Amino acid sequence: MFMNRIWKMSLIITFLIILDQITKGVIQSKFYLGESIPVIDGFFNFTYVRNPGAAFGFMAQASLLVRQILFLWVPVGACFWLISLIWKTRHENFIGCLAYSLIFAGAVGNLIDRFSLGYVVDFLDFYLGNSHFPAFNVADSAITVGAFFMIIDMINDFKKKSIRQKSET
């Protein structure tokens, strides 16, 4: 049963990485840089953006060496750590295992871009009026959903510990 969970997580990871790379490839081949096509007027566009920084363009202006260390090598190390967490949580913690798997898939999707292109392709552009949320991609979405599941997992752990402490007193 638990190896079955590893297979399921592997399928989720593989699917997300492939979906991320296909969608980014379509954007790169069909759009010119900065091109924006409305999907839902006044709310959502597909917009081709190159992001050399972190989330929301953070540190995009940092030196190449700093960006290579922070956006290539630190995430590679984090991916190995995430693999160990996926393996560690496979037996007893579905939500935690899923969270780490989603974050891992997103990290790998963005790392593929960083190693092959030197930047991350973003294209999902949500906005209201003139206020735009920074563009993002499928990998970023996987990371965000994974972080949400991590928070749920932490809350569940906190509740379990609180119940245990109350029953011990």
List the catalytic residues: 122, 140
Backbone torsion region of residue 96, taken as left when φ is above 0, otherwise alpha when ψ lies between -120 and 50, otherwise beta: alpha
Structure tokens at 103: 């974050």
Give residue 25's identity as a one-letter amino acid code: G
Distance CA 123, CA 28 (A): 10
Report the distance separating Cα 140 and Cα 55, nearest Å: 8
Q: Can you tell me the distance from the alpha carbon of 99 to that of 4, in angstroms, rounded to the nearest whole number?
A: 17
Rg of the Cα trace of the chain? 18
